[in-house]
A and B are shown apart, each in its own frame.
Chain A
């Protein structure tokens, strides 16, 4: 039988894989495929033979045979013994046995997820179309009909049933909470007299609708575990799966763990067999990028969709790396035994750091441009071939080191002049990178240097060429010279093999660029799906860098992580230098973006400027206002007197920094010219660094905030501004914080929206009375009461167990209320509450925890007024100087 089918769901069952297809005629097709899980052992041959014999006698293996594979770290082929496991149930026992082995035996491909391993080995991608050849319910052959990295893909219509709770998820099912079902655009609450009745009711719905996708809210944590338990207790069948005899369902009950200094809670999961169950509340990817984004990442991550939905971006990027490794015949080490190499204190000091952070001059600035490097870190890994196995690799150890050819390192070194032609037969790695994604994925090593060859012969001639400011704008070509060492760190990077990480990232980067471009081409309503998918990829790219430096990551290595940040700093400074050479001043810089400003034409050498001003060392920098503060300000400002009616050119108490004679953004022609100049410079930086620098936009005005601790101190990450097109950019304000109650957040957002009306600082100054009026309005509605309690809810994360709280913080009080009501709450879970009375009131009345606020009779007006005032103050900051 041959048919066209879309690989929908797959899961391991005993000793084979079960695959579900949706055929082009709409049929749901279940097929089985025989797939023995195969792992490998390396070490002394005699030892391996006896080991394989012993395992065979235990009855765990289907067969064992000698094989070979590539070692990740050296790239050499090594002999191994392959073990095929009889049934998947034996895997845990086998792993336990192998884990107890000491020394000499190395285990490979031991702990890969079975379904994902099947996809890697067979090179199948879920959620893609295949020509399916099958016989007697068994897969004979699958022929892929599309490229997993294609920009366009079709999804067959999926029958979708929604499932949710009728009230707050903290209220247990059957004890005040009900079940809501949605089908074909209608939704209704299931009515049942008792627990078995509710199970029966849902079972009927599942039978009648036979959905492909059950989209739930709180399904993983609450609905499915509870209903499964009841189904067992009352012996009421609940056909959650299409599979007749699925593996038994177990619920772990979630866990709390520590990550980046914060405690995080991960709920249990309840996937279905033969249909999909997605919990919108338990899927990072669904939240961020919708179903299309989810399908996209399941495809390229080669992971069954239900698993992909519940995993973090890190798990997905690791899955792609594993797939790459399996496809390339690389053996995947089980327990990573690559310790960090020893470094001297000096080396550690130089390289153990992250991106560069400038301190912006606080205050209002006009005509500032923001430029961002696109996907800086992933691009760096790709163009410089940074991967755990390529940093200080053993295969290039004998190669001649050409020191300090890194870009922009201000050492007195001599880079090859740009005119030096490449040797006809270049020795270094060549990448055949085509623009299309398939080609990009197949970037191959065209030529390898034979190991004995003397690389020194190809050392570029060293002509002294003076460097200005430590930077030279030559076209970027990381492969132009053998082993350009990493700036600052001076690590070597492999030039014989392309690393696993760059190989994995290259197609993602290419696809993301294509999706971004497509989103711009098509109609607004069609653009959404491309944006969703693009966002999904973004998260994978963002995470892949962190995983390089994460000790538990499979392909992590701290040196690779350091190399990436070192290149990042180097490139940011290179961009800074190019902009400064073009007469811009750099106001602010953050890892991969810069805020630059061009002082007016008279400042850069127009008429009537003294030579003194042109001398760069004394040219006024934007930071000079720190000093200017000491110069007595005008008496009007000193006494904080209200400004008189504004005259033309009067800034009405605004602190405005240097752009004295800028071409104003009001002039479209000049503004356009300004943007063109910026675009030109961006292109120049992109060419010089190898990473695309894009103009994020020009701000009409931007306000960099002061530190909360010290009003004279600048801070890097708190600012707000309005772009030329009227869009806002806000960072570090109350409305961006999770613990800001919705009422205060909305008040601040409304005021920010008001600010977008102003084009010039003068117009901005004129908005002050209106803003104050708005603030008073919000205060008034707080005082009057009658607000929806949900608008006053403060959300915080429980950072420890409830009983460990020693001080009666509002969070602790709220958590205790929940516990008292029989609702257990784990560290890392969110607690939501409303402040009821001030600190003087009795403990139990101070706050009211979230599910019990529907009948709230009052709130702590004073506290909410304070919160509101704090938010208002942030907005009014530009008016206060």
Chain B
């Protein structure tokens, strides 16, 4: 274990370094966001391990999307509560 197949966290690291050139050409203010995206993907490493997809970037992208969906839902809820405070939804 861990000799033939790279640990998933290393795969994540490799994938990130694969996009370093991409990152370099980004504007500085955008680089921060790219870094954050990769960090978000780390939160679901265990799912990536379990799925063991041969194309790890897919798992990584999906993890990023997942965190986005969560953020979106939460913002929607906040917005909803601000627009209609009487609806009783907590923020």
Residues in A lying within 8 Å of B, measured CB to CB? 345-346, 348-350, 352-354, 356-359, 549, 561-562, 565, 569, 573, 589, 608, 610, 612-613, 617-618, 620-621, 623-624, 626-628, 710, 712-714
**Inter-subunit contact B74/A624 (CB<8 Å):** yes
Indicate which residue in B39, B44, B50, B89 contacts A569 across the interface (CB closer than 8 Å): B50
**Inter-subunit contact B70/A627 (CB<8 Å):** yes
**Inter-subunit contact A713/B4 (CB<8 Å):** no
Residues of the B chain whose Cβ atoms lie less than 8 Å from the Cβ of A354 = 1-2
Q: Complex Cα distance A620/B77, Å?
A: 11
**Inter-subunit contact B42/A359 (CB<8 Å):** yes
Known: A349-B52, A620-B74, A623-B43. 14 other contacts (CB 8 A): A349-B54, A352-B5, A353-B1, A353-B5, A357-B46, A357-B49, A358-B46, A589-B46, A608-B88, A612-B89, A618-B73, A627-B70, A627-B74, A713-B42
Residues of the A chain whose Cβ atoms lie less than 8 Å from the Cβ of B45 = 357, 359
Indicate which residue in A608, A613, A626 contacts B40 across the interface (CB closer than 8 Å): A626
Give how many A-B residue pairs fall within 8 Å (CB-CB).
73
Residues of the A chain whose Cβ atoms lie less than 8 Å from the Cβ of B71 = 627
**Inter-subunit contact A348/B42 (CB<8 Å):** no
Q: Complex Cα distance A561/B52, Å?
A: 18
| A–B complex contacts, Cβ < 8 Å, 5 sampled | A352-B2, A353-B7, A569-B50, A627-B67, A627-B74
Q: How far is the CB of B73 from chain A (nearest CB, A)?
A: 4
B1-31 CB mask vs A (1 if < 8 Å, else 0) is: 1101101100000000000000000000000
Q: Complex Cα distance A348/B1, Å?
A: 10
Chain B positions 47-91 with a Cβ under 8 Å from a chain A Cβ: 49-50, 52, 54, 67, 70-71, 73-74, 77, 80, 87-90
Q: Complex Cα distance A617/B74, Å?
A: 11
Residues of the B chain whose Cβ atoms lie less than 8 Å from the Cβ of A712 = 39
Residues in B lying within 8 Å of A, measured CB to CB? 1-2, 4-5, 7-8, 39-40, 42-46, 49-50, 52, 54, 67, 70-71, 73-74, 77, 80, 87-90
**Inter-subunit contact A348/B39 (CB<8 Å):** no
**Inter-subunit contact B1/A618 (CB<8 Å):** no
Residues of the A chain whose Cβ atoms lie less than 8 Å from the Cβ of B54 = 345-346, 349
Q: How far is the CB of B45 from chain A (nearest CB, A)?
A: 6
Q: Complex Cα distance A712/B46, Å?
A: 18
**Inter-subunit contact A573/B1 (CB<8 Å):** no
Q: Complex Cα distance A682/B54, Å?
A: 35
Q: Complex Cα distance A353/B4, Å?
A: 10
Q: Complex Cα distance A170/B40, Å?
A: 51
With A353-B5, A610-B87 known as contacts, the answer to whether A626 contacts B43 (CB < 8 A) is yes
Q: Complex Cα distance A600/B26, Å?
A: 44
Indicate which residue in A352, A565, A628, A710 contacts B39 across the interface (CB closer than 8 Å): A710
**Inter-subunit contact B77/A618 (CB<8 Å):** yes
Residues of the A chain whose Cβ atoms lie less than 8 Å from the Cβ of B89 = 610, 612-613
Q: How far is the CB of B8 from chain A (nearest CB, A)?
A: 8
What 10 A-B pairs have minimum CB-CB distances, sorted nearest first? A618-B73, A352-B5, A627-B71, A610-B89, A356-B46, A349-B52, A350-B52, A358-B46, A354-B1, A359-B43
Residues of the A chain whose Cβ atoms lie less than 8 Å from the Cβ of B43 = 359, 623, 626, 714
**Inter-subunit contact A565/B87 (CB<8 Å):** no
Q: Complex Cα distance A354/B52, Å?
A: 12
**Inter-subunit contact A573/B50 (CB<8 Å):** yes
Residues of the B chain whose Cβ atoms lie less than 8 Å from the Cβ of A356 = 46, 49-50
